Homo-oligomer: A and B are copies of this chain.
Amino acid sequence: MESNSPTSCEDYAADISSIRQAQVRIEPFVHKTPVLTSETLNSIAGRKLYFKCECFQKGGAFKFRGACNAIYSLADNQAEKGVVTHSSGNHAAALALAAKLRGIPAYIVIPKNAPKCKVENVKRYGGQVIWSEPSMESRENTANKVLQDTGAVLIHPYNDGRIISGQGTISLEFLEQASEIDTLIVPISGGGLISGVALAAKAINPAIRILAAEPMGADDAFQSKINGRITKLSEVNTIADGLRAFLGDLTWPIVRDLVDDVIVVDDKEIIQAMRLCYEILKIAVEPSGAIGLAAVLSDGFQQNPAYSECNHIGIVISGGNVDLGVIWNSLEK
């Protein structure tokens, strides 16, 4: 990772070696999540689909892999002062849980508009919640103040090699569980998940195709790929609360080089996919988690001849933390 050649893979913040190390490090703590299949969904999609169910991961999302790797990478004298993050939710809960396992404090800066169930997860795992305004500026300022006050270590949700390596362990499991996969479809937000998944998958099978799935109302990765540079948006608008972040300087080079394409879907397609996950796969999936299925079923994928050879498609179901209190209230009446 010290090379001067900007396009060589040694420049990336993670690689297959750091991902394999992460797997050994986190293996005692993470769930090896199952891969589900459905002939009904295969028939709808016209391909064989394999769903890696990270909604069953501890904390309800893939984020626990990266958080666990980051926290167990810390030296004891670093770790004892605790960790800090600002997050839209799943990373926060995951960091709180991993910190609890290691017995160190986790200070979690959460925007006031975060989904209730995600905040509850943080509290359930013993995280110390510190509220900020929804803006990224307020979140960063609040986190910096906590850093100064506590001496804790900042663990960024995605722009961090330890996080990327942890998320990459998904590919190691997934390609072992379903070795016939020729295409992976992965939600993209800040890029930590897809960076890790792409680095590991391309190392195992360079011919594998990596597609990102992104909401139309937060399509910064799509724009960035077109422009050839990180492109931030002035505003985002999507139901997928986990997919509102922008690429970072560590994830962008990996996304630029290893992600073959970005498929953009609208919120209606995401909700339809959530419903299929619930009704056919029988899994509880948050909007961000359903976007991979939405992408496979979208016209942009189905009618693009470039994808006609994608026959065995691995879809990462990234998380299942969604507030659906309305249904329980209606049933209890």
How far does the Cβ of A225 sit from chain B's closest Cβ, in whole Å? 29
Please state if B328 and A327 are interface contacts (CB–CB under 8 Å). no
How far, in angstroms, from A286 to B42 measured CA to CA in the complex?
A: 24
How far does the Cβ of A283 sit from chain B's closest Cβ, in whole Å? 6
Scoring A39, A60, A117 by chain B CB atoms within 10 A of each residue's CB, the highest score goes to A60
Q: Beta-carbon contacts of A316-333 to B below 8 Å, as 1s and 0s?
A: 000010001011101110
Q: Which residues of A from 254 to 289 have beta carbons under 8 Å from B? A: 268, 271, 274-275, 278-279, 281-285
Which DSSP category, helix, strand, loop or mixed, fits chain A's interface?
helix
Q: Which residues of A from 289 to 333 have beta carbons under 8 Å from B? A: 320, 324, 326-328, 330-332
Decide yes or no: A330 and B320 within 8 Å by CB, A55-B282, A278-B284, A282-B60 being known contacts: no
Please name all residues of chain B whose beta carbon is closer than 8 Å to the beta carbon of A58 when the two chains form the complex.
39
Q: Does A248 contact B (CB under 8 A)?
A: no
Please name all residues of chain B whose beta carbon is closer than 8 Å to the beta carbon of A282 when the two chains form the complex.
53, 55-56, 60, 283-285, 320
How far does the Cβ of A292 sit from chain B's closest Cβ, in whole Å? 16
Please state if B328 and A275 are interface contacts (CB–CB under 8 Å). yes
How far, in angstroms, from A326 to B39 measured CA to CA in the complex?
A: 26
How far, in angstroms, from A55 to B284 measured CA to CA in the complex?
A: 12
Interface size on A, residues (CB 8 A): 33
Please name all residues of chain B whose beta carbon is closer than 8 Å to the beta carbon of A330 when the two chains form the complex.
326
How far, in angstroms, from A102 to B111 measured CA to CA in the complex?
A: 55
Contact of A239 among B37, B55, B56, B331 (CB under 8 A): B331
Please state if A324 and B278 are interface contacts (CB–CB under 8 Å). yes
In the complex, the chain B residue whose C-beta lies closest to that of A279 is B117
In the complex, the chain B residue whose C-beta lies closest to that of A268 is B332
Q: Beta-carbon contacts of A174-189 to B below 8 Å, as 1s and 0s?
A: 0000000000000000
Q: Does A40 contact B (CB under 8 A)?
A: yes
Q: Does A126 contact B (CB under 8 A)?
A: no
How far does the Cβ of A12 sit from chain B's closest Cβ, in whole Å? 31
How far does the Cβ of A35 sit from chain B's closest Cβ, in whole Å? 9
In the complex, the chain B residue whose C-beta lies closest to that of A61 is B282
Q: Which residues of A from 96 to 122 have beta carbons under 8 Å from B? A: 117
26 A-B pairs (CB sep. < 8 Å) = A34-B34, A34-B36, A36-B56, A39-B58, A40-B124, A55-B282, A56-B281, A56-B282, A60-B282, A117-B279, A239-B331, A274-B331, A275-B328, A278-B284, A278-B324, A279-B284, A282-B283, A282-B284, A282-B285, A282-B320, A283-B283, A283-B284, A324-B327, A326-B326, A326-B327, A327-B327
Given contacts A53-B282, A239-B331, A282-B285, 9 further A-B contacts (CB under 8 A): A34-B34, A34-B36, A36-B56, A60-B282, A274-B328, A274-B331, A282-B283, A284-B284, A326-B330
